[in-house]
Homo-oligomer: A and B are copies of this chain.
Amino acid sequence: MELSEGIYGRRSVRSYLPERVPRDVLDTLIDAGRWAPSAGCAQPWAFVVVDEPVQIQRLKSIAPGMFSEPAFVIAVCAERQAAVQRMGPQGETLALMDVCMAAQNISLAAYAAGLGTCIIRSFHQRAAAVLLGCPDGVVPELLIAGGRPDRIPRAPNRRALDQIRHFNRWGQK
């Protein structure tokens, strides 16, 4: 798939077919995630790939943002404590930013693999950490629900380029 097709064609998909996604395919998504940039190339991330139906249901019970029945959920975690030790207090924010870029790589790679995904922040982070058995200092920051798409929504409108892009100083076009 062309990169531009990935960027423009990816939708947030919330409706999935009841088909398992093979683990080697899921690994290609994580592989794409770990090639994201990170502050100081510290790679302060970990990924818990959830594909057991029971564990997915448990996650759903603490994630009001998760609709429908995903075939998998990738919990994208930040090694927050290690990041703070390495970079000081701002490490927490830096690690959060890094995992978001990894999540975007995962979304794009999933789309190229014929999968639909939806990035979710609306979940109970502390409960997810317990459920996934994350060690202290490792925090699930995002859940990426996914599967073979059942229904791909139309592209939501985008704000016009002229409204959001300025040259050199705010307001200059």
A residues engaging B (CB < 8 A)?
Answer: 1-8, 10, 12, 23, 27, 30-32, 34-37, 39, 41, 43, 45-52, 55, 93-94, 96-97, 100-101, 103-105, 107-109, 112, 119, 121, 132-135, 138, 141-142, 156, 158-159, 161, 164-171
Q: How distant is the Cα of A104 from the Cα of B135 in the complex, in angstroms?
A: 28
Question: Which residue of B35, B52, B103, B133 is within 8 Å of A7 (Cβ)?
Answer: B35
Inter-chain contact A165/B108, CB cutoff 8 Å: no
Give, as a whole number of angstroms, the nearest-CB distance from A47 to chain B.
5
Inter-chain contact A109/B47, CB cutoff 8 Å: no
Q: Which of chain B's residues have a CB closer than 8 A to the CB of A164?
A: 30, 34, 43, 45-47
Q: How distant is the Cα of A112 from the Cα of B39 in the complex, in angstroms?
A: 22
Inter-chain contact B1/A47, CB cutoff 8 Å: no
Q: Which of chain B's residues have a CB closer than 8 A to the CB of A34?
A: 158-159, 161, 164
Q: Known contacts A104-B104, A134-B170; is A165 also within 8 Å of B47 by CB?
A: yes
Q: Which of chain B's residues have a CB closer than 8 A to the CB of A161?
A: 27, 30-31, 34
Q: How distant is the Cα of A2 from the Cα of B169 in the complex, in angstroms?
A: 34
**17 A–B contact pairs at CB < 8 A?**
A1-B3, A3-B6, A3-B112, A4-B32, A7-B32, A8-B35, A30-B161, A30-B164, A46-B170, A48-B167, A48-B169, A49-B165, A55-B169, A101-B101, A104-B105, A108-B108, A133-B170
Inter-chain contact A7/B93, CB cutoff 8 Å: no
Q: Which of chain B's residues have a CB closer than 8 A to the CB of A41?
A: 12, 156
Q: Which of chain B's residues have a CB closer than 8 A to the CB of A39?
A: 121
